[in-house]
Amino acid sequence: MAKSTAMRMVGVDVSARWLDAARGAADEAPTGQQFANTAAGQRQLARWATQGGRAARVVLEATGLYSLDVALTLQRTARVEVMVLNPRVSKEFAGAYGQRARTDATAAVSLREFAARMPFTAWVPPSAAALAVRALMRRVVALVEMRVQEANRLHAVERTAALPAVLGEDLRAHQRELTRRLRRLEQEALAVVEAAPELRSRYRRLRSVAGIGQRSALLLLAELAVLPPELGARQWVAHAGIDPRPIRSGSSVHPPVRISKRGNVYLRRALFMPALVAVRCNPAVQRFAAALAPRGKAPLQVLVAVMRKLLHAIYGMLRTDTDFDGEKFRRAA
């Protein structure tokens, strides 16, 4: 019997140590293999996916830094197309596909089925500078959260005289150390941005919005710079998880409309503070927010609406390489 020459579909489940893969075209039973999540193991996976000179479409979940090197290795391999899938989409597909068990091997089979049955969107690797800024600013987010936790602990310790004074001293010293490290990471991220012309231009545009300071601009840039260029403004909104999710069933099930929160939590958080500040100091945003309050919108709903409209404005600014225009924002609103 002649061997199949159809494109091979490959699903890869990524963990810190292992790559569990399943491959097979539509006319083939899937076969599995496990590889070490190392540089050598990733190259072995690429050879296995294209064994026999076959072209391959590979689908893997976005698992942060664990999947980054795998995706880059596969993307550089001839005859291989890579799709990096949102884990939530993968989970919902597995449920619809009827998969009940969840192991590394079954996850790889499910991803292989996704590659065979669903629309395929090839992954475009971001630039090295964009990846560096994202990694630096996500570390900044982690340290900011840590500093808030230490501040809460210090607040509790200072409210009692029953504990040793050294606890408060240690907490204050740690807060100072975290502040120093935050400043260092932000300066490093800013240096990377200034050395990359495209990132530098986008950063300048973001800073033109009254309400977006240095840290907020870097946080937004870190998440937006790695998005595929073909995405539109509404897809940006969905990616941030601030798209409305209405639920309507019959004549009685009409709960309040809420945002989906099915997206990039870093981008969603990065929009919150600029929206909060812009409502207070940006006249165009103030007018937009003031028009929503008489329509029965709660303060948090108004703020989310500002976040969404601000992201639309940022999309237009970066695509047309122009600064923020309050008049355009007002007309669009």
pLDDT in tens, 131-171: 999 999 999 999 999 999 999 999 999 999 999 999 999 99
Q: Is 113 found in the same domain as 130?
A: no
Asked if the structure places residue 171 within a domain, the reply is yes
Asked if the structure places residue 203 within a domain, the reply is no
Asked if the structure places residue 2 within a domain, the reply is no
- What pLDDT sits at residue 247? 60
- What pLDDT sits at residue 189? 98
Q: Tokens 């006249």 appear where?
A: 283
- What pLDDT sits at residue 253? 57
Between 33 and 249, the more confident residue is 33
Asked if the structure places residue 55 within a domain, the reply is yes
Last residue of a domain, one of 117, 144, 161: 117
* Residue type (1 letter), 13: D
Q: Is 220 found in the same domain as 239?
A: yes
Last residue of a domain, one of 71, 98, 117: 117
Instruction: Indicate left, alpha or beta for 163 from its phi (over 0: left) and psi (-120 to 50: alpha).
Output: beta
Q: Tell me the average pLDDT across 92-110.
A: 83
Residue 244, pLDDT > 90, answer: no
Owning domain of residue 148: 126-195
Q: Tell me the average pLDDT across 268-277.
A: 96
Q: How far apart are CA 193 and CA 146, in angstroms?
A: 25
| CATH assignment of the domain containing 104 | 3.30.420.40
- The tally of domains found in the chain comes to 3
Q: Tell me the average pLDDT across 76-83.
A: 94
With b for 16 or more beta-carbon neighbours within 10 A and e for fewer, the 146-174 pattern comes to: ebeebeebbeebeeeeeeeeeeeeebeee
Q: How far apart are CA 236 and CA 263, in angstroms?
A: 9
Q: CA 87 → CA 67, 83, 108, 110, 133, distances in Å?
A: 12, 12, 12, 12, 23
Q: Is 214 found in the same domain as 103?
A: no
- What pLDDT sits at residue 59? 95
Q: Is 218 found in the same domain as 190?
A: no
Q: How far apart are CA 304 and CA 243, in angstroms?
A: 9
- What pLDDT sits at residue 256? 67
Q: Tell me the average pLDDT across 107-116.
A: 92
- What pLDDT sits at residue 1? 43
Q: Tell me the average pLDDT across 265-292.
A: 93
Residue 255, pLDDT > 80, answer: no
Look at residues 40, 41, 76 and name the one whose alpha carbon lies nearest to residue 58: 76
